[in-house]
Amino acid sequence: MKTLYIFTFLILLFSCKENKNAPEKIIEEPIEQQIIKPEFQTIIDSANVTGSILIYDSLKNTYYSNDFDWAKKGNLPASTFKIANSIIALETGVVKNDSTFFKWDGKRRAMRAWERDFIFKDAFHFSCVPCYQEIAIKIGVKRMNNYLAKLDYGNMKVDSTNIDLFWLEGESRINQFQQIDFLKRLYQSELPISERTETIMKRIMIIEDNTNYKLSGKTGWSIRNGNNNGWFVGYVENQGKTYFFATNVEPKQQFDMDMFPMIRKDVTFKAFEEMKIIK
């Protein structure tokens, strides 16, 4: 019997050593792919603009674009920053909810559409720059920089001289990949923000919700050194799939600038149709 105990002990001892030295299982992350879409370039050229359409298929972990170099180039975020600005406003309590009231002071504004009172969600949709300048000033430089670092949002340059303009002019930059990364983290509940803030943001970002798809996002337009740069960023939910996108374009010479606000969305929708994301 004693011999049996010794034999059993030796088996267990060697078995433990063997398991201890066994190589650990390596869980491989799916490889991110980038696929050139010449059809996107045709869409861009037909619109008489230059730039890049970047679409990310979250299920396939694959990016599609006509120009990945352009997609890596940083630009001013312009009004696409209203997504991050809104999050920070809600997290700091500068804005209480999507119905927070902004009273027009009666002064003339750059756009007639802004010469009115707003509630927060409408200020977002109408891209009311004066409303968001008021918000940024109330947030302040220190809190703005702290939250931008927490959110890992692009490369913003914020100080006391530009707190109300840094997303529209100056040296702040974000590229299309960074825009999509930020949107992915928001959508997947990976940002260090409250559930309440996330819920409000996802609600006010909805542009279109129909039987075929739900589209959420924000446009942006900056003018730097006389050069116009336009954004359309967001995500599309369709039949259980989610696609994230960031379009960045600039007009060619002799472009009808009255068309620029529409072109950003138009080329993006044509890319959606090309990929059969929407019909």
**Residue 22 and residue 256: Cα distance in Å, rounded?**
67
Count of Cβ atoms closer than 10 Å to residue 209 Cβ = 11
The CA R_g of the chain, rounded to the nearest whole Å, is: 24
CA–chain centroid gap for 53, Å, is 14
- Is there a catalytic annotation at residue 222? no
| DSSP character at residue 256 | -
Degrees (nearest 5) of the Cα angle 158, 163, 166?
65
Per-residue pLDDT of the chain (279 residues; tens, 9 = 90+): 444 444 444 444 444 444 444 444 444 456 789 999 999 999 999 999 999 999 999 999 999 999 999 999 999 999 999 999 999 999 999 999 999 999 999 999 989 999 999 999 999 999 999 999 999 999 999 999 999 999 999 999 999 999 999 999 999 999 999 999 999 999 999 999 999 999 999 999 999 999 999 999 999 999 988 889 999 999 999 989 999 999 999 999 888 899 999 999 999 999 999 999 998
Q: Are 275 and 242 in contact (CB under 8 A)?
A: no
Mean pLDDT for all residues in the chain: 91
Catalytic residue of the set 52, 79, 172, 216: 79
Q: In sequence order, what are the beta bridge partners of 214? A: 209, 237
Locus of tokens 């500068």: 94
**Residue 243 and residue 103: Cα distance in Å, rounded?**
37
Taking only the tens place, the pLDDT of each residue in 136-181 is 999 999 999 999 999 999 999 999 999 999 999 999 999 999 999 9
HEC per residue, 211-254: CCCEEEEEEEEEEECCEEEEEEEEEEEECCEEEEEEEEEEECCC
Which pLDDT score, from 0 to 100, does residue 279 have?
81
**Residue 232 and residue 246: Cα distance in Å, rounded?**
6
**Residue 261 and residue 50: Cα distance in Å, rounded?**
15
Q: Which two tokens stand for residue 208?
A: 């279109």
The model carries a pTM of 0.88
Q: Which residues contact 165 (CB under 8 A, 6 or more apart)?
A: 133
**Residue 64 and residue 38: Cα distance in Å, rounded?**
10
Q: Are 213 and 236 in contact (CB under 8 A)?
A: yes
Taking only the tens place, the pLDDT of each residue in 195-226 is 999 999 999 999 999 999 999 999 999 998 88
Q: Are 274 and 39 in contact (CB under 8 A)?
A: yes
